[in-house]
Structure 1
């Protein structure tokens, strides 16, 4: 396709999207959707948001194509303190999607998934992938079990696209079609506009973790923008290399070199780096306990950033 050739010229790999995939081919198929928990499980998600979110549209579109939908993701207290178990996540998603979502422990040590047992439900939710070290290791056997019975894989988790996970990379070798969902495609389209942005002054707000994996993207932002605003865990990495007091248990030590590289590059271009003055943290064990710390005084190891 011409648009894919254009993307290749701009340095973006061509991807097959759900939007361009024949909808009739979804019918009677089992489709796994790797969703972004930071979007779909957001604590403040309300009805007006749910009506317009492309993350929700991906799931509803596949369901309306008469496919069996299997949802997979990982989540922590950072996503939503009220939805931690598979049961509460399924209940939350049911209320947002207006469809019946059933939690299903679909992979065990000695048992394969049995999708026939849940024909009466609209959507199946797999176990929290955060509970499995094989997910982060992209274990091939784990990915095979995860994809057992799946025909088509749809990745709608843009925030994990840079990670090599069993649920984003490993499963693709066991499905005959692998597609980008509507939310993924929306985020990619926004990313493609960054190199073309000529607005000035412009400022980029950067959050998240794993600065080592994101250094190339950060360098592009630093080359285009007049200022960088760092928030959350990312801010702590930048603060550390700038010599500001940060508890060592909050520092990604494997990414110190990359953080320093970004700071030096920003300084070479004389662009501003803005950092938070305080952080809201949640207790590591007492889920409902929160505490605000000044940026230079995060000292209690019992508290973690949201």
Structure 2
């Protein structure tokens, strides 16, 4: 799908309504992690460099269309000033934004109060979107993480003004297109997590799109059980075994190779330093639980990475939060990082647990692209149309 970028827009002398995701953690009125603020800097600076005036539109928390003082964006102003090195003016109300004083206009960057204080935002209300559109001349969406929501500031607004993707949105869409749209093949997807039921759409879409699919975490136990293996006391959705078999059959029809654990790390209790042993996948003791993939499984996963040219990763291979059940995830992450660093693999990863797992072995920084978009990344992997992205194309 074609979308315009900042390079395609004339911004000179224009107010640019810029949808951003700066939903950052705040404690005692101070931002404790400014990562999301730092990631919008290229977009804001490019708008300024092209003679535009950025008016930032953002949400914070879930105020449900009401003014909630604890969810105000005001505490973010100092962090924005620090990250941008520019003057930032906070605008408390839409009335204020519609009647900007000369003093307000003098600031380099304008920040609107939490857009979700207005019920028209999440309702994607056309009249509210028209009111927003009246505040500016150009619309720039730099919030891929909110692109799966059809809200006024992410979807309707894009149809009312000349629209483009910001630098962060552009990078995300370019990376995702390279991973699943027109990827270098073979494509390997690594999907972990606790439950098959939460990733049904994802698995069904991936077996049609990728050449190899590694299934890890608690999900793998359900697939093993579907093959008739006893998984002991492991986390397993026994009511999903028919679904797992259906996904495996679909993969066989599409030519997608599914890689399940060949050997597993088992323990009788889930705690740090618990006594663990490696057994074949079919030999899990009745009184034990599978908590990680074993070394033979890791060998075959890394061999698949060596064959692949593109990797998409979502979810850990085991209970990575606790040693020694992080070994498979750590080894696979390090291997993928090495291949990415040497230019042999295009690697895209996303999801909170995934990023945390990759960071444990300092692998995230070596991946081609790390998505912090959460739900939007998952819905994109599931093959769903994201309203905020579709609107930019139209």
TM-score strictly above 0.5: yes
The aligned residue for residue 93 of structure 1 is 80
Gaps of 5+ in 2: 63-69, 227-233, 252-257, 261-314, 322-394
Contact 2:60 / 2:73 at 8 angstroms: preserved in 1? no
Distance 1:261 1:160 in 2: 30
Residue deviations 1:183-221 (CA, integer Å, cap 9, x gap): 1111111111223243565425789xxx79x94x66443
TM-score for the superposition, normalised by structure 1: 0.60
Q: How much does 1:126 deviate?
A: 0.9
Residue deviations 1:108-156 (CA, integer Å, cap 9, x gap): 5xx7712344112111111112333321110111112222231000011
With over 3 angstroms needed to count, the CA separation of the structure-2 counterparts of 1:132 and 1:261, relative to structure 1, is: farther
Question: Mapping of 1:187-206 within 5 angstroms?
Answer: 187-195=172-180, 196-199=183-186, 202-204=189-191
The aligned residue for residue 112 of structure 2 is 126
Gaps of 5+ in 1: 1-12, 78-82, 247-256, 280-306
Contact 1:31 / 1:67 at 8 angstroms: preserved in 2? yes
TM-score for the superposition, normalised by structure 2: 0.48
Q: Does 1:62 align with 2:47?
A: yes
The aligned residue for residue 370 of structure 2 is none
The aligned residue for residue 171 of structure 1 is 157
Q: How much does 1:226 deviate?
A: 2.0
Distance 2:245 2:8 in 1: 41
SS in 1 for 2:60: coil
Q: How much does 1:103 deviate?
A: 1.4
Question: Mapping of 1:10-21 within 5 angstroms?
Answer: 13-21=1-9
The aligned residue for residue 364 of structure 2 is none
Distance 1:100 1:230 in 2: 47
Tell me how large the CA RMSD over aligned residues is: 4.2
The aligned residue for residue 254 of structure 2 is none
SS in 2 for 1:227: strand
Q: How much does 1:105 deviate?
A: 2.3
With over 3 angstroms needed to count, the CA separation of the structure-2 counterparts of 1:148 and 1:263, relative to structure 1, is: farther
SS in 1 for 2:98: coil
Distance 1:155 1:230 in 2: 35
Distance 2:97 2:24 in 1: 30
What is the number of residues matched between the two proteins?
227
The aligned residue for residue 297 of structure 2 is none
The aligned residue for residue 123 of structure 2 is 137
The aligned residue for residue 254 of structure 1 is none
Contact 2:22 / 2:58 at 8 angstroms: preserved in 1? yes
